[in-house]
Structure 1
């Protein structure tokens, strides 16, 4: 049901990874990564994240966990220049 919903929201599924979806809005892109029952949403435009989160919450029960620190045994570190280090 999630894949259908995302495609109805004009998200494209990645050709390389079927669990990765992306949507281009003007100069911004939003990415959604799905793993079992976990979803990571990221974009350089925070209001776009909020918009898609609100749309998904109207259909699904979501639990927001805040900033990503670990995912699939990968640690995420946020640097002052707004880049990420994955270890």
Structure 2
């Protein structure tokens, strides 16, 4: 039983470390969570039309993640496209 208790202690410490890494507050540092956006939210966020969205997906400049219920985008993956939309005055 002693080895099982030691194993449980190690697993509990691993869980605590993982939990600390993935929480939004890491000590005094606040880590933003990456937000998943739907297709319509991406269109609104980038200030583009539906046809522009489809063209960018076809060209590969927007790469959706396939989820049940539709495509999703991580907000951090859209950084370059957002700055381009901002430069063009869409946002």
Name the TM-score, length of structure 2 as normaliser. 0.24
User: Greater strand percent: which structure?
Assistant: 1
Name the TM-score, length of structure 1 as normaliser. 0.25
